[in-house]
Amino acid sequence: MVDVIKDIPRHIVHGRYDVDCRPINAYELSKKLNNCDLDFVISGHSSAEPAIVDALVRATDKFKRNFYNDDIAKVYENKKKEQVKWK
């Protein structure tokens, strides 16, 4: 199953004190993925905890920066400009 998704860029954020999902599982999964960042933060399981929210926002910002550096993003922006012209 991991082979299907192993080349998709991803960022795993995991709470160090998560007792529902063991941190070792996030670590082992990250080692099977080719393009994966793993961020352990001082928190538990909830995605609403401040440390996890902060790490998720940073990861999202990183993906956004990478996306806008791609040629695909330039094509997307050009299409948006064309749509605005026709309105």
pLDDT tens track for 35-47: 899 999 999 999 9
CB 73 within 8 Å of CB 67: yes
Query: 39 forms bridges with which residues in the sheet?
Result: 13
Choose between 46 and 84: higher pLDDT: 46
Q: Distance between CA atoms of 22 and 20, rounded to whole angstroms? A: 6
Query: In whole angstroms, what is the distance from residue 69 CA to residue 2 CA?
Result: 27
pLDDT digits (tens, 9 = 90+) for 45-75: 999 999 999 999 999 998 888 776 666 666 6
One-letter amino acid at 24 equals: I
b/e map of 44-55 (b: 16 or more CB within 10 Å)? eeeeebebbeeb
Give CA separation, 31 vs 38, 64, 84, in Å.
9, 24, 44
